[in-house]
Amino acid sequence: MKKLIIIKYGELTTKKENINQFIRCLNENIKSKLSNFNIVTNYDKGRLFIKSLDDNYDEIMNKLKEIFGIHEIIIGYEIATLDLAEIENILLNLLKKENFQSFKVDTKRSNKKINLTSIEINKEIGSFILKNVLNTKVDVHNPDLIVHLELRNNESYIYFTSIKGLGGYPVGTLGKGILMLSGGIDSPVAGYLAMKRGVKIEALYFESPPHTSEEAKDKVEALARILSKYNGSLKLHVIHFTEIQEAIYKNIPHEYLITIMRRMMYRIAEIICARENAKVIINGESIGQVASQTLTSMRAINEVVKLPVIRPVACFDKLEIIDIAKKIATYETSILPYEDCCTIFVPEHPIINPNMKKCEEYEKLIPYKDLIYQAIKNHEVIKITPNKKNDYEDIL
Amino acid sequence: MIYLDYSATTPVSYDVLESFNKACKEYMGNPNSLHSLGVKAKGLMNSATKQISDQFNVLDSEIIYTSGATESNNMALIGVALANIKKGNHIIVSKLEHPSIYKICEYLETLGFEISYVNNNEEGLVDFDNLRSLIRPETILVSICAVNSEIGIRQPLKMIRQIIKKENSNCLFHSDMTQALGKIPVSFHDVDLASCSMHKIYGLKGIGILYKNSRIQLVPLFHGSSKDNDLRPGTPAVPLIASSAKAIRLATQDLDRRETFIKRLNEKIVKELSNYDGIIINQTKYSIPHILNISLVNIRPETFIHAMEEYDIYLGTNTACSSGELSSSVMALFNDKKRAASTIRISLSHLTTTDEINRFLTNFKIVYNKLNDLVTK
C-alpha cells in the first residue's frame, strides 16, 4: 500500500478530442509548481497521481490549491491488487484511524473485467465493514464516512475525503494573452479569471515617471507576483509612457485625454501581443465604471485594434470584483495609494460619448506612431516569480 | 577579560554591527523622503519590521521601535494609564519588576493612580490567589516581567493572562520581556503589550521594541507626527531597526541547545560556591540558568566586585540600574535584609566558556578568602 495524491480533472472530462493535450499541460504545470519537491506523477484519461518520495503531502496539497484545471484533490492509498479479500484487510487497517458511526461504500470500477458490478462490490465491502468494525451502521444518505474504492487496470485505490481544487482549465492550454495591469483592483482580478479559463498571461504596465513613482511600479510588481502563483512565472512588460502622455496632454483637447490615452495603450498592447505571440488583450474594464468604460467609449477605444479584447469583469459589480480580489489576496496591495498613469492627468470632465471621427482627427496632432515605436523599442521586461528574492537578505 | 554581566548588557554581535554599518552607509535616505533613496531606506525598514513581526507572528503595525526597554515600559504603562483614565485608576505590578517599572508607578501615583503590588510565593512565582483578589473592576493594567532581572525567575505568562482576563476582561496585561528575549522562547500572544531591548541580545544600545496589540489605544508620550497613531514620531532610526531584525533573528536561534549549555555552567558554579559558608545561593526552581544570584554574607558586594575586577573579571550587583541599594527581588523572595543587601549577580551567555568559568572560580576563591579573612579576623 502506498500513500498518494489523486487528482480529479474538472471540466476537462467534457473535452473529447483535446483531452490528452489538456492533461499533459496540467501534468507539466503540476511538475513545475512542485519542482522543489521530490515527486513522481503519472496520469491517464481519468486521474492524475502524485507520489511524494519525502512524504510531505500537506505542503504539496497547499501548492495544488493554486493550480487551475484541478477539480478535486484527494489523499488516498494505492493497493497493487484487485483482489477484494486483500483490499478488505488493508481497508480495515486504514479505518482504525477514522472516527465514524455511519458509512457508505462508493465503488467505481473502470476495469470491466472484474466479475462483480460496482453495486455488488459496495455490498460486499459494506458487509465486511459491518462485521469487523464495532458500533457502526450503513447510511447511504448522510454518512459520517464515505469509503471510496476505485478499481482500475491492475491497482485499486482507497480514499475517504477530498478537497476542492480551483477548477477551470490548466493555464496555457488555450494560449496566451496580454493583461493590461494597472495596479488597481480590477485588472488583477481580470487576469486571475483569464488564467482560470486556461489563458497564460503576460502583464503590461504603463509607467510615467516622474508623474508616477517607483512605488507604483513596485506595487504592480507585487500584484504580478501574486498572479504568477497561478501562471507559473509571469513576464511583466513595462512601457515608458511619459512622452506619449505628455504629448497627449499638450496637444489634445482635455475632454479626450483619457480616450486617446487608452487608444494608445491598446495599440501598444496589440504590438506586444504580436511580439509575444499572444492571441488576445485582457483588461479589467467594467461597463460604466468610469468615463472610458461606457459602451461608446469602449467602442471608440476598441476600434484601434483587431485582436479580441477580453474583459473578464465587464459585467461584475465593483463589490463582486472586490470579493474576488480579497479571495486571491490582491486587494490589500491594490488599495495602496500610489498614482498610476490612468489617475494622473485626469480631466475634470472626461467625455463619456467620444466621437470616433474626432479621435482620429485629434490623434493627427501628435506623432503617435513614432512615439509608440520609441516606447516599444525601450520597453523593459521583468520576469516575475512567485517567491520574491528578499533584496535585504544580506543585511537582515 | 572574563565578562559575567550579560544581563546588564551584551557585546554586540559582529553580524549585527555589520548590518548596522551597511545600513548607515548604503541606506542613508530618510524613509519619509519621496525620492528613491528614501524609498530604499523605507524598503529596508519595512522588511526589517516584517521579519520581526513574522518571527513573533504579529502584525507589522504592532511593533513600535523605542530607545530601549525603559522607554517601552514608560510608553506602555503611562500610555495605558492615561488612555484608560475613565475606566479606572488601578494598576497591579509584581514585586519582582525592574526598577524602571517602580519609578514609573511612583510617577503614576502622583497623577492619582493607585498601585498594588502582587505577592509571590516562596519559589518566586506570582501568587495567583493574591492576584485574583487584587483585580477589581477599575483595574486597568497588570504588569509582570517575563523573567526577573536579578534572580531570573520565569513567570508563567499564559496562565497569568488567563487569570487576569477571567477576573476582568478589560484589564490589559503588559510584560517586560527584556531578560526573557534571547534566553527563553517568548510569545507576544501571551500579553497585550511587551517591552524588549536589543542590547541585551547582542544588538546595539539605543533601540528597543514595544509590542502593542493593535486593538489597544495608548496616549502617546511624544508628539510631532503628521500621521495618526504614531507613538514615536521623528525620523526612524533605519540602521538601528535593521540591526534589530538581525539581532532578534540571531539571538532566538538555537535557544534549547544554548540553554542546556548554560545550565551546565550554572550548575558548575552553584556546586562550587555551595562549599562556602558565607555564601547563599539565591535561586529557586523557576530561575533560568542564565542568571545566578548569590549573597555574600560577610563581604560588601561593591568591594568584592572591584576586587574581582583586578583579575579582569566583571560581575554585577542587583541590576546595573540600581546598584548600591537593597535587592528588591531578593527581599521579595526571601525577606531577609542582610541577604538582600549583599547580592552579586553572575550572568552567563552561550559565549561563556567552561575555561572562563574555571578561571572565574579559581580567582573567586582567592578574592573571597582574602576579603573574608579581613572581616572575620
ipTM of the complex: 0.70
Inter-chain residue contact A396 with B47, CB threshold 8 Å? yes
Q: Does B105 touch chain A (CB under 8 A)?
A: no
Provide mean pLDDT across the span B365-369.
95
In the structure, what pLDDT confidence band is assigned to residue B112 with cuts at 50, 70 and 90? very high
Point out the residue among B34, B39, B44 whose CB comes nearest to the CB of A395.
B44
Residue-wise pLDDT for B9-55, tens only, equals 999 999 999 999 999 999 999 999 988 899 999 999 999 999 999 99
pTM over the 0.90 mark? no
**A222 to chain B, minimum CA–CA distance in Å?**
13
CA closest to A395 among chain B residues: B19
Is the same domain home to B233 and B259?
no
Q: Which residue, of A167, A195, A225, is where some domain finishes?
A: A167
Cβ–Cβ contact B248 with A under 8 A = no
Cβ <8 Å between A392 and B39: no
Query: Best of B51, B55, B241, B244 to disrupt the A interface by mutation (most A CBs within 10 Å)?
Result: B51
Same-domain check for residues A21 and A91? yes
Query: Which has more confidence, A166 or A346?
Result: A166
Q: How far is B209 from chain A (nearest CA, A)?
A: 16
Which of the listed residues A147, A167, A187 is the one where a domain comes to its end? A167
* Residue of chain A nearest B34, judged by CA positions: A213
Which residues 129-148 of chain B have a CB within 8 Å of chain A? none
Per-residue pLDDT averaged across A170-199, rounded? 95
All residues of chain A having their beta carbon less than 8 Å from the beta carbon of residue B43 are 391-392
CATH code of the domain in which A60 resides: 3.30.2130.30
* Chain A: closest CA distance from residue B50 (Å): 11
> Tell me, what's the pLDDT at B314?
96
Q: Which of A215, A391, A395 is closest, CB to CB, to B19?
A: A395
pLDDT digits (tens, 9 = 90+) for B51-62: 999 999 999 999
Domain that holds residue A216: 176-384
Q: Which of B23, B43, B51 sits opposite A391 (nearest CB)?
A: B43
Mean pLDDT in chain B?
Answer: 94
Give the residue from chain B lying closest to A210, CA to CA: B35
Percentage of the residues of chain B whose pLDDT score is greater than 70:
98
| Interchain CB distance below 8 Å, A396 and B242 | yes
Which residue in A323, A105, A298 sits closest to A193, CA to CA?
A323
Averaged over B68-86, what is the pLDDT?
97
Q: What is the mean pLDDT of residues A98-127?
A: 90
Q: Answer yes or no: is A391 within a domain.
A: no
Q: Are residues B200 and B90 in the same domain?
A: yes
Partner residue facing A396 (CB), from B34, B36, B48? B48
| Domain count within chain A | 2
On whether both A242 and A352 belong to a single domain, the answer is yes
pLDDT digits (tens, 9 = 90+) for A284-321: 999 999 888 999 999 999 999 999 999 999 999 999 99
Classify residue A316: in a domain, yes or no. Answer: yes
Query: Which is more confident, B327 or B130?
Result: B130
Distance from CA of A336 to the nearest CA of B (A): 15
* Interchain contact B44–A (C-beta under 8 A): yes
CATH code for position A317: 3.40.50.620
Please, what is the Cα angle at B187 between A396 and B247, to 5 degrees?
A: 25
Q: Do A308 and A225 fall within a single domain?
A: yes
Q: Do B34 and A395 touch (CB under 8 A)?
A: no
Distance CA B127, CA B133 (A): 10
Same domain membership, residue B268 and residue B119? no
CB A285, CB A293: distance < 8 Å: yes
pLDDT for A55: 87
CA distance A10 to chain B (A): 36
Nearest CA in chain B to A214: B36
Kindly list the residues from chain B whose CB atom is less than 8 angstroms away from the CB atom of residue A392: 43-44, 47-48, 242
Answer with the one of A150, A167, A184 that is the final residue of a domain. A167
Which region holds residue A172: left if phi is over 0, alpha if psi is between -120 and 50, else beta? left
DSSP B298: S
pLDDT of residue B312: 96
- Res. A392 pLDDT band, cuts 50 70 90: confident
Q: Taking CB atoms and an 8 Å cutoff, what residues of chain A touch B245?
A: 396
CB atoms within 10 A of CB B159: 13
Are A52 and A200 in the same domain? no
pLDDT at residue B57 in the model: 95
- Phi then psi for residue A215, to 5 deg, are -65, -35
Q: Which residues pair with A103 in a beta bridge?
A: A138, A145
d(CA B289, CA B350): 11
Is A141 found in the same domain as A49?
yes
Q: Clarify whether residues A270 and A315 are in a common domain.
A: yes
Note whether residue A361 is domain-resident: yes
Residues of chain B contacting residue A213, judged by C-beta atoms under 8 Å apart: 34, 39
Q: Please indicate, yes or no, whether residues B288 and B343 belong to a single structural domain of this protein.
A: yes
Determine the Cα angle at A147 with ends A142 and A150, to 5°. Answer: 130
pLDDT for the residue numbered A341: 65
Q: Are residues B147 and B179 in the same domain?
A: yes
Residues B197 and B272 in one domain: no
> Does one domain contain both B111 and B189?
yes
Integer distance in angstroms from the first to the last C-alpha of chain B? 32
What is the CATH number for B153?
3.40.640.10
Is there a single domain that holds both residue B78 and residue B142? yes
Question: Of B22, B39, B48, which has the smallest distance from its Cβ to A215's Cβ?
Answer: B39
Report the number of distinct structural domains present in chain B: 2
B223 and B357 in one domain? no
How many secondary structure helices (H) and strands (E) does chain A include?
13, 14
CATH of the domain at B315: 3.90.1150.10
- Closest chain B residue by Cα to residue A392: B44
What is the domain extent for residue B316? 2-9+254-376
Of the candidates A214, A215, A392, the beta carbon closest to that of B44 is on A392
Contacts of A337 in chain B (CB under 8 A): none
Secondary structure letter of residue A282 according to DSSP:
E
Q: Would you say A26 and A48 are in contact if contact means Cβ atoms under 8 Å apart?
A: yes
Sorted by sequence, the CB contacts under 8 Å of residue A73 that are 6+ apart come out as A5, A6, A7, A8, A61, A64, A65, A162, A163, A164, A165
Question: Rounded to a whole number, what is the distance in Å from the CA of B246 to chain A's nearest CA?
Answer: 5
Could B51 and A396 be called an inter-chain contact, meaning their C-beta atoms sit closer than 8 Å?
yes
Question: Among B24, B105, B145, B321, which one carries the catalytic annotation?
Answer: B321
Contacts of B48 in chain A (CB under 8 A): 392, 396
Residue B322: predicted pLDDT: 52
**A214, A391, A396 member nearest B245 (Cβ):** A396
CB contact under 8 A, A392 and B242: yes
Contacts of B162 by beta carbon, 8 Å cutoff, 6+ apart? none
Q: How far is B310 from chain A (nearest CA, A)?
A: 39
Cβ atoms within 10 Å of A328's Cβ, excluding its own: 18
Tell me which chain A residues have a C-beta less than 8 angstroms from the C-beta of B36: 214
From chain A, the residues in CB contact with B250 under 8 A are none
Same domain, A161 and A183: no
| Averaged pLDDT of chain A | 91
pLDDT band for B159, please (50, 70, 90 cuts): very high
Same domain for A192 and A300, yes or no, is: yes
- A187 and A73 in one domain? no
User: Does the pLDDT at position A232 exceed 90?
Assistant: no
**Are A202 and A118 found together in one domain?**
no
Taking the CA of residue A395 and the nearest CA in chain B, the distance in Å comes to 5
Q: Indicate whether A265 and A375 sit together in one domain.
A: yes
Kindly list the residues from chain B whose CB atom is less than 8 angstroms away from the CB atom of residue A390: 47
Mutation test of the interface with chain A: which of B13, B16, B19, B198, choosing the one with the most A Cβ atoms within 10 A? B19
Interface residue ranges in chain A relative to chain B, Cβ cutoff 8 Å? 213-215, 390-392, 394-396
- Average pLDDT of span B70-85: 97
Whether residue B195 sits in one domain with residue B75 = yes
Mean pLDDT of B249-269: 96
Beta-carbon separation of B48 and A392 below 8 A = yes
Domain closes at, from B205, B232, B251:
B251
The domain boundary residue, chosen from B206, B232, B251: B251
Measure in Å the smallest separation between the Cα of B288 and chain A Cα atoms: 29
- If 0-12 CB within 10 Å is exposed, 13-18 middle and 19+ buried, where does residue B376 land? exposed
Asked if residue B43 and residue B158 are part of one domain, the reply reads: yes
Task: Choose among A215, A390, A395: nearest Cβ to B22.
Answer: A395
Residue A36 included in any domain: yes
Give the pLDDT confidence of B295-325 residue by residue, as tens digits. 998 888 888 999 999 999 999 986 545 555 7
Average pLDDT of A200-223?
Answer: 92
**A161 and A180 part of one domain:** no
Active site residue B321: yes
Reported residue count of chain A is 396
Cα A120 to Cα A147: distance, rounded to the nearest angstrom: 15
Q: pLDDT tens across A3-45, in order?
A: 999 999 877 666 667 788 899 999 999 999 998 899 999 998 8
Total CB pairs under 8 A between chain A and B = 29
Q: Quick one: B190 and B284 in the same domain?
A: no
Rg for chain B, CA atoms, rounded: 21
- What mean pLDDT do residues A181-185 have? 92
- For residue B227, how many other CB atoms are within 10 A of its CB? 7
